Amino acid sequence: MSDSFQGPDTDNAAPRAIDPAELERAGVELLAWLGRYHQSVATRPVLSRARPGDVLNALPAQPPERGSEDWSAILSDLDHVVTPGLTHWQHPAFYGFFPANASTPGILGELASAGLGVQGMLWATSPACTELEMRMLDWMAGALALPDTLTFRSPSGGGVIQGTASEATLVALVAARRRTLARAGLLDAPRRDRPDLALYMSSQAHSSVMKAAMVAGLADGPDDLANVRPIPVDDSLALRPDALRRAIATDLASGHLPCFICATVGTTASLAFDPLDDIAQAAADAGFTGWLHADAAHAGVACICPEFRWMLRGIDRFDSLCLNPHKWLLTNFDCDLFYTSDRRALVDALSITPEYLRNAASESGAVVDYRDWQIPLGRRFRALKLWFVVRRFGLAGLRDHVRLGVRLAEWLESRIVADDRFELCAPRRLSLVCFRLRARAGESPAQTDARTRALMDRLNASGALYLTHAVLPHGDGARLVLRMAIGGSMTRQEHVERAWAAIGTETARE
């Protein structure tokens, strides 16, 4: 590719930022490069072998003074500097954490969003950015069979795309804080006269809930439990409603103001499902008047398939829900769908209008200004990629993707159960399988943990696959388990079979 950068426009003494001809030429080259990357990704070691500082040292310490760099030099550095420092999340043998699905329409939707370069902070700053997003949220609510109360079909509900589930939980908590104080008639009370607010989640909840408490000022750090109540779980690792009811009652008796319950629909470690209906009932029985939020970051998108909708039973009693198409629904990061049945509470908590943001459309009350539904002011046109994804794959294609992940996990589960060197550590749920090496005669739990971890390290170092671990409660202790999270965009039966073969071979080397 030739160097097409023309240098500064001398009349205006600034570079020509967008050169349509260059955009087209260089864009074709970049997409071709990405096509080659994805064609070869399965041949690469999944986990990056870069050592600390390798990428840093391959980069010049100073930026170029003159913009003379040829596109071919930039693309060549993607090959030589960047890709060796990548862990390949789109590799079909990536089974760590949860997947971060990319797809052709997802990638092109991101490109379209960047290419249009609009800010959708107000309806007026790009009506299409807001209204396409509103339509996507309602499309997805229909596809997931969510209650109308969480959609724009209801006068008080609606949805928005947040960057991440962490942000969704934080905005839900901020709305909860204000609404709870308002309902208690304390919004205008001096801060020193207000009771401490209390937040509840299962002991298996994602760390983002604690982080939200820290950001919102309910906790000083991850170990500060003065206002945060991790609720014990049952044998299936789901939050115990009876324990929740008692915790709320204790707080009310001691003068705390219960404010926020975060239920997890698919915990990170083992995909345990907190029982939404029973949680809502326990909260009501205890006299809870705060906000119920459901974090379904990974698992929630599976509700696109009718057979998995049981997990959201009771969601009609919740104030908000979040789930991430950017994990398991073929939509490039970042795309978290956040729904609430009380959008007024959200806007009341997050709205602040300096003079320069005032405009006729907002004042008319006839439009949605998404800046009031999120933390930042500016916002990307993220709905485009979801629109592209749904239109290209259709709901049927998305269901096929989810069901394939579940089938592959069932296959793996059947192999683990049949092999007495391993044990399942939690029931397989959807496409997540948690397993570990079985204890040898006379071996302590710590020794089995160490062998299991060593097996994971050897597998990850081999480059053949990548998986990560978790620690799950077990009896009166805790056990290290390996998590194989299936559901990558490119993962098929042959990849899972190869992964299982690699696990067997590595285990035999012990």
| Binding site residues, ligand PLP, CB under 6 A | 98, 164-166, 206, 208, 264, 266-268, 295, 297-298, 324, 336
First to last CA, the chain: 51
Choice between 44 and 326, CB closer to ligand PLP: 326
Choice between 151 and 169, CB closer to ligand PLP: 169
Choice between 256 and 385, CB closer to ligand PLP: 385
Q: List, in order, residues 6 or more apart from 206 with CB less than 8 Å away.
A: 165, 166, 264, 267, 268, 295, 297
Q: Considering the complex, what minimum distance in angstroms separates the CB of residue 416 from ligand PLP?
A: 22
Instruction: Enter the tokens of residue 437.
Output: 């090496």
Choice between 328 and 422, CB closer to ligand PLP: 328
Asked whether the beta carbons of 383 and 133 are under 8 A apart, the reply is yes
Choice between 133 and 336, CB closer to ligand PLP: 336
Q: Cα–Cα distance between 209 and 295 in angstroms, integer?
A: 9
Q: Considering the complex, what minimum distance in angstroms separates the CB of residue 25 from ligand PLP?
A: 36
**Residue 273 per-residue DSSP state:** B
Q: Cα–Cα distance between 285 and 279 in angstroms, integer?
A: 10
Choice between 89 and 422, CB closer to ligand PLP: 89
Dihedral of alpha carbons 331, 334, 339, 344, sign: negative
Q: Considering the complex, what minimum distance in angstroms separates the CB of residue 232 from ligand PLP?
A: 18
Q: Considering the complex, what minimum distance in angstroms separates the CB of residue 164 from ligand PLP?
A: 3
- Closest Cα partner for 99 from 496, 501, 484? 484
Q: Cα–Cα distance between 495 and 233 in angstroms, integer?
A: 34
Specify the residue for token string 């020794």. 447
Dihedral of alpha carbons 400, 404, 407, 413, sign: negative
Q: Considering the complex, what minimum distance in angstroms separates the CB of residue 30 from ligand PLP?
A: 26
Q: Considering the complex, what minimum distance in angstroms separates the CB of residue 171 from ligand PLP?
A: 12
Q: Considering the complex, what minimum distance in angstroms separates the CB of residue 100 from ligand PLP?
A: 9
Choice between 181 and 213, CB closer to ligand PLP: 213
Q: Considering the complex, what minimum distance in angstroms separates the CB of residue 178 from ligand PLP?
A: 22
Choice between 336 and 342, CB closer to ligand PLP: 336
- Give SS3 for 391: helix
The strand pair at 257-264 and 197-202 is best described as: parallel
Helix H, strand E, coil C: the string for 342-355 is CHHHHHHHHCCCCH
Q: Considering the complex, what minimum distance in angstroms separates the CB of residue 123 from ligand PLP?
A: 26
Choice between 324 and 448, CB closer to ligand PLP: 324
Orientation angle between helical segments 383-417 and 493-508, nearest 10 degrees: 50
Q: Cα–Cα distance between 238 and 321 in angstroms, integer?
A: 17
189-217 as b/e: b if 16+ CB within 10 A: eeeeeebebbbbbbebbbebbbebbbbbe
Choice between 258 and 266, CB closer to ligand PLP: 266
Q: Considering the complex, what minimum distance in angstroms separates the CB of residue 504 from ligand PLP?
A: 28
Q: How many residues does the chain have?
A: 510
Q: Considering the complex, what minimum distance in angstroms separates the CB of residue 508 from ligand PLP?
A: 32
Q: Cα–Cα distance between 102 and 100 in angstroms, integer?
A: 7
Reported in sequence order, the residue ranges of 343-475 that DSSP labels E, i.e. its strands, are 422-424, 432-437, 468-474
Choice between 204 and 341, CB closer to ligand PLP: 204
Choice between 286 and 486, CB closer to ligand PLP: 486
Q: List, in order, residues 6 or more apart from 285 with CB less than 8 Å away.
A: 245
Q: Considering the complex, what minimum distance in angstroms separates the CB of residue 322 from ligand PLP?
A: 8
Q: Considering the complex, what minimum distance in angstroms separates the CB of residue 443 from ligand PLP?
A: 31
Q: Cα–Cα distance between 468 and 481 in angstroms, integer?
A: 9
Q: Cα–Cα distance between 273 and 133 in angstroms, integer?
A: 28
Query: What are residue 147's phi and psi, to 5 degrees?
Result: -65, 150
Tell me the β-bridge partners of 437: 422
Choice between 229 and 256, CB closer to ligand PLP: 229
- Give SS3 for 13: coil
Asked whether the beta carbons of 261 and 294 are under 8 A apart, the reply is no
